[in-house]
A = this chain, B = another copy of it.
Amino acid sequence: MTLLFALYMAGLVASAMTGALAAGRRSMDWVGVLMLASVTALGGGSMRDVLLGHYPLSWVAEPWLLGLTSGAALVTVLVARYLHRLRITFLVLDAIGLVVTTLIGCDVAIQMDQPVSIVVLAGMITGCVGGVLRDVLCNQIPLLFSSELYASVSVLVGILYVSGLELGLPHDVVTLTGLTAGLALRLLAVRYGWGMPKFVYTKDWF
């Protein structure tokens, strides 16, 4: 599917750019920028593959992916001062990245004949763990754990996708449904600040 592939590339680039900007906010050098961008973009899929024992990892089999994420990082450094004008474009690309990588993660687990719950989880890990690694390397609590709907979108997309395939619907229809629903929900969540309820606990007894 050429469209899905193009969206995947766009998602990787957007994800790498969030990593590069996070590096810039901590005044890292170019090495840090390249590494953080690559880890953010490819870390989720790598974590999925390591946890499932699915070798070789995508970027080991296709090293040009590292070229893509490094290129995205360098472009980010060059155009950083204008990037905030592209806020909407950027958020849309990031949301596309979340949804598409989730679908790709689900597919990997499906090809390994994993049970449904692991398929959905593999999708979520692929979509979300890159950002978690980025935040850990930037020495902050992962945004994922307290921000707007993000992991939830990923889980919902995974459930829609798996359910559709189980029901025997055509692959293209299911993919498109997952994409549209996920994209809509994520963008609405950003727009209106929707989030999951928080658990606030203040005691310190153990």
Contact = CB atoms under 8 A, between A and B. Distances in A.
A152 B52 CA distance: 31
Nearest to A23: B199
A203 B116 CA distance: 41
Given A198-B27, A199-B30, A140 B137 contact: no
Contacts of A67: 117
A29 interface: yes
Q: Could you say which of A23, A132, A139, A201 has the most chain B C-beta atoms within 10 Å of its C-beta?
A: A201
B114 A60 contact: yes
A3 to B, nearest CB: 25
A146 B63 contact: no
Interface residues of A, dominant DSSP: helix
Contact of A27 (B94, B150, B152, B199): B199
Interface stretch (A31-39, A99-107, A160-168, A174-182): A31-39
Interface residues of A, number: 67
Contacts of A151: 31, 35
Contacts of A5: none
Contact of A80 (B31, B63, B118, B201): B201
18 contacts: A18-B206, A24-B200, A26-B145, A26-B146, A29-B198, A31-B144, A51-B57, A52-B60, A53-B56, A63-B115, A67-B117, A84-B205, A84-B206, A91-B206, A132-B137, A136-B136, A136-B137, A137-B142
